[in-house]
Every structure is written in C-alpha cells, then in structure tokens.
C-alpha cells in the first residue's frame, strides 16, 4: 500500500510538472527552510516523505521498500509497521531540517528514504533482539552481518554522492530502531 501511495503521488505530480525541479517540488509539499521554519508549514515534514525527485529516485526507494518492508511488516504487523514507517520518516525529516536545511537553507528536500532507513533500523532491532533472546526464526534470512552491510553500504553511498540527505537517513534509521523497540515492548505488555 505504501509503494502504491508513493507511485500514485509521483504519477499525479509528473502529470502536472517536472518532479526533478526543486521549485516545483517545493510548491507541492517538499521541505524547505523558509516554509517549515519561518512560515510554520510543518505538514511538509509529512508530505515530503511521499515525494520523489524523478523516476530514478522513486524506483530506487520503492525497490528497497519492496525488498525489506515485507519482512518488518510480517514481524510487527500492519499497524505497527505503518506507524514505524511514518514515524521514522518524520524523524528523518526533522533531522533533515535541523542538519541539512539548517546548514543550507536553499536546499529542497523530499523522499521516502528516511522512512526506508527506518525500516532498516526496525529490522536491525529485530535481528539484535533475536540474537539476544537466542531466537533465529524471525529474520534469519538476512542475519546481523547482512543487515549491517546493507545499512553501511546505503549510508556510504550517501556520504560519497551529491544531493543525498544522510541526515534524513540517519534520523530515519534511529527512529525506526527506537519505534520498533517500543512497538515490541508494548506488544509484550498486552
């Protein structure tokens, strides 16, 4: 469902304009310093996680989401997964405003990658919890080494590429880890 929403939003925006144009994207809900910080348009923290700069950006994010999202959803359940995805996306967006837009106020930010890194953070928590509890049934096809490699390679790509917002990625990763931990704790207490 999340992939479908992202694709539909992209299709609608592509019909009306150029999704690679920062000005067009800012006019349609992407994050920028002036609108969020100076004008108080905080809804952009949410809308930006469903916007993508071009088909390549969308395709890359949705493929990763399809590959790993179903694993976390299977472990946490649909509602918790949705909350983790949106929550991590929001944490990533706030982190982006503080560190990326704060350092370069003319930057325009958008993309689901903070939320996707949140899914990675959630899976990382599940793998670590399985190891600590000596369980190997939930995510054994990935493993700790595989998950750490995935996170590190995705982050390193951001550090060595222009136009990639690693502040959003790191915020989403931490947000997803913590939200998954909270979700698992609340489920145990029921």
Phi then psi dihedrals of residue 2, to 5 deg: -65, -40
**C-alpha triplet 146, 188, 84: angle, nearest 5°:** 50
10 Å Cβ neighbour count for 67?
A: 12
Among candidate residues 48, 96, 113, 183, the one labeled active-site is: 113
Among candidate residues 52, 57, 169, 183, the one labeled active-site is: 169
* CA dist., res. 38 & res. 35, Å (int): 6
* CA dist., res. 174 & res. 168, Å (int): 10
| Catalytic site includes residue 113 | yes
Which H or E element spans position 169?
A: helix 166-188
Copy the structure tokens of residue 46. 């949410």
| Catalytic site includes residue 161 | no
Active site residues: 113, 169
């Amino acid at each position: 469902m999340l992939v479908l929403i992202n694709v539909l939003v992209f299709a609608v925006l592509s019909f009306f304009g150029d999704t690679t144009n920062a000005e067009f994207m800012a006019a349609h809900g992407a994050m920028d310093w002036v609108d969020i910080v100076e004008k108080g348009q905080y809804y952009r923290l949410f809308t930006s996680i469903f916007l993508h700069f071009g088909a390549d950006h969308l395709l890359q994010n949705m493929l990763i989401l399809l590959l790993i999202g179903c694993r976390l959803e299977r472990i946490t359940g649909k509602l918790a997964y949705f909350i983790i995805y949106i929550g991590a996306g929001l944490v990533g967006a706030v982190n982006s405003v503080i560190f990326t837009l704060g350092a370069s106020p003319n930057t325009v930010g958008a993309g689901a990658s903070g939320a996707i890194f949140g899914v990675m953070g959630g899976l990382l928590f599940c793998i670590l919890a399985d190891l600590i509890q000596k369980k190997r049934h939930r995510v054994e096809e990935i493993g700790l080494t595989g998950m750490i490699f995935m996170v590190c390679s995705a982050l390193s790509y951001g550090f060595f590429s222009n136009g990639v917002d690693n502040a959003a990625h790191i915020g989403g990763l931490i947000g997803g880890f913590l939200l998954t931990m909270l979700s698992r704790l609340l489920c145990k207490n029921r």
